Amino acid sequence: MLSALPEAIGILLSVEGILVLVLGTVLGIILGAMPGIGSTVAVAIVLPFTLTMGQAPAILLLLAVYAGSVYGGSISAILINTPGTPQSAATCLDGYPMAQRGEAGIALGWATVASVVGGLVSAIVLIFAAPQLAAFALQFGPIETFALILLGMTCIVSVSTGSVVKGLMAGMIGIFLSTVGGDPILGEMRFTFGNWQLFAGFNLLAVVIGVFALSEVFIRASAPISRVSDLVAFNGIVLPSWQMWKGRLRNLTKSVAIGNVIGVLPGTGAATAAFISYAEGRRSSPNRDGFGKGEPDGIVSSEAANNAVTGGALVPTMALGIPGDAITAVMLATLTLHGITPGPKLVEDNPTLIASIFAGFFIINLLLLPLGMMLSRVAAPILRVREAFMMTAIVILCAVGIYFVRGNPFDLLIMGGAGFVGFLLRRQGVPMAPLVIGMVLGPTLELTLRQGLILTDGNFLAFFTDHPIAMVLAIAALLALSLPLWRGLLTRRAA
Amino acid sequence: MKMKYLISTAVAAVIASSAAMADGFPERPINLIAPFNAGGGTDLLLRGLAPHFAEAIGSEVFVSNMAGGSGTVAASALQGQRPDGYQLAYMSITVSTIQPQIKDVPYGLDSWTPICSVAASPTLLFVANDSPFQTAEDVVEAVKAEPGKYVYGSSGPGAMTHLTTVAAFAGLGILDDMKHLPFQGSGPAIKELTAGNIQFFGDTEALMQRGDFRPLMVFNDTRLENFPDTPTATEVGIEAPLNELYLWGGLFAPAGLEPDVTAKLEAACEASVASDGFMEFANNSGTVINYRGAAEFDAFYRAQYQSNSSLIEAAGL
């Protein structure tokens, strides 16, 4: 494949190649920043345009939009506390407090650099280690995935600002919401009360937007009108200097690694990676005490991990023909339309195409930096409007985004309901991030638990005694849960 | 006299207006609804068909997605709409004939005006290429020797992939000695078939070629061109109605569509399915074109609805 690289670079440096890379990335960043659109829909929007393109440009356009949208989600997360995509929900936790302190520019700077590093490393890993990593992904059956999700669930404790009990409550609400709709094993309907609108369950994006963005609007609307006209002081991205990275590089490295590994495993995804990485940062970062109050390490943990997932998710897609997530599934479908059969022989049979895809993916991640800075400068004046206008605009943007995705007015009701309930819960000090974690991880937790029980004939202990990887992950989950308790005991004794 | 005149003008007016309605059809853009997410197989097929359909009907045509509940959310929403021909859904065998028999949905056999069928692919039962099973007899022998050991996968309960494996193993009389492991979509299932956590899976030829897999039988009336050595389910000893399974789909409008409008849509469908552009698309995407006109598709759909109930019973859904 590497021998095909010169020819591949020729494709990338053609007029069409450059246009596709730049425009695709710009479009991806914008769509990702729009609340409610999400990466999957962003990719689907450009899909019809790829039908008339050549093989390599078609896939590159999808990749550019994909990587751009994952990064773009962080912009609205930081500036208006609205995660453009669920994978940016963890970015809100520290990004928005920083923006409120007037450090929006530098917060976005951290997010941008972390995203670029995460994406670039994942591109390099993809180019050099795809076959080996794909073999590793095959080791992850339902039981191993269950153990990984269990570890992910322990994040609830670390993102529960204030009260852990309230955080756990929110997590349980999230898991409960995820059980509405079709039973994944038996196909029967649960908690739908005969209403077909609920057959598909609650729309995850509608709930995420509701509890983060709408509830924020409600909270501001219920507060006295502020005299200050601008919400957050923002004049474009400010990149963190080298000195500011001191003591943070370890956290960056760890986050990139977490994103890469989780990306490779089918059935998990960027939101899971961002939360697990955030929890790990909160556990091990030297700056952990500031997490949740506007600590750059929190942004770095989340953003480096979710962008590293993009390259990771391409590993099983390219090496095995198995989509790593919903977005890579769209890419596989596009390959098929261009007369290419995805599968284990994909790389062998199409060396030039794959080389240009891999090299193009690397360039796309480089482009995130200048294009992100440019776009944020364009966005800056928009944020200087009066608070009332801004809040109205947020509500409209969220509503349009949510309606656009499935064309179903019922989703707007869900969003509104989630916003109101989120508002009531937040006023009682219940954090919303655990609710989102419960909803994101809940379906996979249930599916893999029940799949595992089918495979082991109902023997839960065999999950761990027969599966060493699951055992290790379960022990890690136990440690993650008990370490804060242990630390708490130690400090109490010291005091 | 006056009364008679009034009635006759009224009747004439009604006839004229309905004729005018069909004459004028289509006056605005037609919406083709994909009941699944953008980027999936159904969505791509509709997007491939839409430009040719638009050309044939002489109006704008746009594709929209309304995913959820294995396609039942879109079908349930369309079922309550006015049958004016401006809203059509592409529904598969599962959305139109299986789901309404296993779920409490607001639609059923008589909710639709079938317009045309577009595609139909037979399904195959397959194993990983390094599997010890060469024939259906090998499978029966192994399963009987160790009941409860072997696992078949599906892309979800009640999906075509599920019915394929159920038809195979119920037909061979070993269904109760095996375990069913549902996944969400075919992608994760073929990963586990590669990894060895499941031993059997059933899907179309296009999907089977995604991996290093080997077919054991095909649910078609004849052997497939690409796999001349793979027996049909009938040859293996599986009896009707379990021996032939096709993942088919076509365009449906809500019940009560005017015959004139149906005829126009049917003609446009026939022309677009036969167009060079769509043929090329089908060839690239592995779609097996199978056109049926409105009357023929209606009869086929109703027969399938009835015969699939025995499959549903065998699957225990």
Q: How far apart are CA A235 and CA A458, in angstroms?
A: 58
Side-chain half-sphere exposure of B42, counting CA atoms within 13 A: 26
User: How far does Cα A327 stand from its chain's mean position?
Assistant: 12
Q: Is the Cβ pair B197, A141 closer than 8 Å?
A: yes
Percentage of chain A lying above the pLDDT 90 cut = 36
* C-beta separation of A218 from B92 below 8 A: no
For residues A84-104, give the mean pLDDT.
88
In DSSP terms, B253 is beta-bridged to B113
**Is A406's CB within 8 Å of B191's CB?**
no
- Other CB atoms closer than 10 Å to residue A242's CB: what's the count? 7
Contact call for residues A67 and A121 (beta carbons, < 8 A): no
- Reply yes or no on whether the pLDDT at B202 is more than 60: yes
**B contacts of A322 (beta carbons < 8 Å):** 187-188, 190-191, 194, 210-211
Residue A335 above 90 pLDDT? Answer: no
Whether the pLDDT of residue A302 is over 60: the answer is yes
Paired tokens of B211? 């991996």
- Please report the domains of chain B, with CATH numbers, ordered by start residue: 2-120+246-315 (3.40.190.150), 122-236 (3.40.190.10)
Read off the pLDDT of residues B134-168 as tens digits, 9 standing for 90 and up: 999 999 999 999 999 999 999 888 889 999 999 99
SS3 for chain A is: CHHHHHHHHHHHCCHHHHHHHHHHHHHHHHHHHCCCCHHHHHHHHHHHHHCCCCHHHHHHHHHHHHHHHHHHHHHHHHHHCCCCCHHHHHHHHHHHHHHHCCCHHHHHHHHHHHHHHHHHHHHHHHHHHHHHHHHHHHCCCHHHHHHHHHHHHCHHHHHCCCCHHHHHHHHHHHHHHHCCEECCCCCCEECCCCCHHHCCCCCHHHHHHHHHHHHHHHHHHHCCCCCCCCCCCCCCCCCCCCHHHCCCHHHHHHHHHHHHHHHHCCCCCHHHHHHHHHHHHHHHCCCHHHCCCCCHHHHHHHHHHHHHHHHHHHHHHHHHCCCCCHHHHHHHHHHHHCCCCCCCCHHHHCHHHHHHHHHHHHHHHHHHHHHHHHHHHHHHHHHHCCHHHHHHHHHHHHHHHHHHHHCCHHHHHHHHHHHHHHHHHHHCCCCCHHHHHHHHHHHHHHHHHHHHHHHCCCCCCHHHHCCHHHHHHHHHHHHHHHHHHHHHHHHHHHC
Give the whole-angstrom CA distance, residue B99 versus residue B170: 20
What's the rounded Cα separation, in Å, for the pair A219 and A82? Answer: 14
Q: What burial class does residue B189 get, using C-beta atoms within 10 Å of its C-beta: 0-12 exposed, 13-18 middle, 19+ buried?
A: buried
Residues forming a β-bridge with A190: A181
Rounded average pLDDT over A315-339: 79
Contact across the interface for B104 and A184, Cβ inside 8 Å: no
Q: Is B312 on the interface with A (CB under 8 A)?
A: no
Using 50, 70 and 90 to split pLDDT, how confident is the model at A39? confident
Q: What is the per-residue pLDDT across A261-296, written as a single tens digit (0 to 9) for each? A: 998 887 678 888 999 899 889 888 898 888 888 999
Q: Give A201→chain B minimum CA distance, Å.
A: 8
pLDDT category at B172 given cuts 50, 70, 90 is very high
Residue B277 touches chain A, beta carbons under 8 Å: no
How far does B70 lie from chain A, in Å, by closest CA? Answer: 8
Minimal Cβ distance to B195: which of A40, A138, A344: A138
Which residues contact residue B270 at a Cβ distance below 8 angstroms, ignoring those fewer than 6 apart?
B116, B291, B293
Cβ of B211 within 8 Å of Cβ of A320? The answer is: yes
| Residues 244-263 in B contacting A (C-alpha not used; CB under 8 Å) | none
Chain A CB contacts of B73 below 8 Å: 196-197, 199-200, 408
Chain B residues touching residue A201 (CB < 8 angstroms): 68
Is A318 within 8 Å of A346 (Cβ atoms)? yes
A98-145 pLDDT tens trace: 998 889 899 999 999 999 999 999 999 988 888 888 888 888 899 999
Testing the interface with B: which of A189, A192, A322 to mutate, by most B Cβ within 10 A?
A322
Mean pLDDT score of chain A, rounded to an integer? 87
Contacts of B147 in chain A (CB under 8 A): none
CB-based contact, B214 to chain A, within 8 Å: no
Residue of B nearest to A328 (CA): B39
Q: Looking at the predicted structure, is the pLDDT value of residue B6 above 60? A: no
**A267 → closest Cβ in B188, B194, B210:** B188
Q: Which two tokens stand for residue A347?
A: 């790389």
What is the distance between the alpha carbons of residues B202 and B39, in angstroms, rounded to a whole number? 22
Nearest residue to B74 via CA among B34, B40, B46:
B34
Cα–Cα dist A327/A344, whole Å: 19
pTM: 0.85
Q: What is the DSSP letter of B266?
A: H
Q: Give the helix/strand (H/E) hosting B190.
A: helix B186-195
Q: Give the nearest partner residue to A343 out of B185, B211, B317, using CB atoms.
A: B211
ipTM of predicted complex: 0.83
Round to whole Å and give the CA distance between B229 and B210. 20
Do the beta carbons of residue A204 and residue A39 sit within 8 Å?
A: no
Q: Which residue has the higher pLDDT, A334 or A36?
A: A334
Task: Report the chain B residue with the minimal C-alpha distance to residue A199.
Answer: B69
Query: Residue B108 pLDDT > 90, yes or no?
Result: yes
CB A79 within 8 A of CB A233: no
Return the ∠ at Cα A112 (arms to A109 and A118), rounded to 5°.
Answer: 140
> What residue of A is the nearest CA neighbor of B198?
A455
The answer to whether the CB atoms of A181 and B317 lie below 8 A apart is no
- The torsion of the CA quartet B175, B179, B185, B188, rounded to 10 degrees, works out to -140
Q: How far is A390 from chain B (nearest CA, A)?
A: 30
CA angle A437, A106, A27 (to 5 degrees): 65
Q: Quick check: B153 contacting A, CB < 8 Å?
A: no
Instruction: Tell the residue number behind the tokens 């997932």, with chain if given.
Output: A309
The three-class DSSP label of residue B269 is helix
Lowest-confidence segment of A31-45, A119-133, A403-417 by average pLDDT: A31-45
Which one of B44, B68, B105 has the shortest CB-CB distance to A337?
B44
Question: In 3D, which of B211, B206, B205, B272 has the Cα closest to residue B30?
Answer: B272
The better pLDDT of the pair A424, B211 is held by: A424
**A358: which residues sit within 8 A by CB, 6+ positions away?**
A1, A8, A123, A126, A127
Token pair belonging to A329: 């599934």
Mutate to test the interface with A, among B31, B64, B73, B183 (most CBs of A within 10 A): B73
**Preferred mutation among B32, B37, B281 to probe A, highest tally of A CBs within 10 A:** B37
Is pLDDT of B16 > 60?
Answer: no
Q: Which of A305-319, B7-21, B105-119, B222-236 has the lowest mean pLDDT?
A: B7-21
What residue in A sits closest to B38 (Cα-Cα)?
A44
Pairing, β B87-92 against β B246-254: antiparallel
Concatenated DSSP letters of B104-164: --S--TTSEEEEEEEEEEEEEEEEETT-S--SHHHHHHHHHHSTT--EEEESSTTSHHHHH
Contact A187/B212, CB-based, under 8 Å?
no
The pLDDT tens digits of the residues spanning B25-82 come to 888 999 999 998 776 778 888 988 999 999 999 999 988 888 778 889 899 999 988 9
Q: Check whether B20 has a pLDDT greater than 50.
A: no
Q: How many alpha carbons fall within 13 Å on the CB side of residue A409?
A: 1
Cβ separation of B187 and A451 shorter than 8 Å? no
Which has the closest alpha carbon to A371: A14, A22, A12?
Answer: A22
B109 in contact with chain A, both atoms CB, cutoff 8 A: no
Distance (Å, rounded) from C-alpha A86 to C-alpha A441? 12
How many whole angstroms separate alpha carbon A61 and alpha carbon A388? Answer: 37
Cβ–Cβ gap A320/B66 under 8 Å: no
Torsion of CA B191, B194, B200, B202, to 10 degrees: 50
pLDDT of A229 higher than 50: no
Which chain A residues are within 8 Å of B212, Cβ to Cβ? 343-344
Which residues in chain B have Cβ-Cβ distances shorter than 8 Å to A447? Answer: 183-184
Calpha distance B313→B250 (Å, rounded): 25
